[in-house]
Amino acid sequence: MTIKVRFFASLRESVGLDEVDMEWADTQTPHSIWAQLTTESQPNNLLCAINQEYATLDSDLNDGDEVAFFPPVTGG
């Protein structure tokens, strides 16, 4: 299965990746993808989206999905 993985804001800089398309043999979750693509510890406040909708890090991914990782968004 093919999954597009994107890293945003400070995560892009710390991980050293912007975007990557990966082939996976098994079912994946955002949590497992983070662990396999990075050497960085997963931040406690890490957010993710699947196909541009907020999701949990334990959500199952399907072929063709896009998963995005980003730090918390703040505003005032």
Residue 63 confidence (pLDDT): 95
Residue 49 confidence (pLDDT): 97
Is the CB of residue 34 less than 8 Å from the CB of residue 7? no
DSSP state letter for 24: -
What topology is assigned to 2-70 in CATH?
Ubiquitin-like (UB roll) (3.10.20)
What is the tens place of the pLDDT at every residue in 1-45? 999 999 999 899 888 889 999 998 888 999 999 999 998 888 888
Stretch (H or E) spanning 34 = helix 30-37
* Higher per-residue pLDDT: 52 or 24: 52
Residue 51 confidence (pLDDT): 98
pTM of structure = 0.88
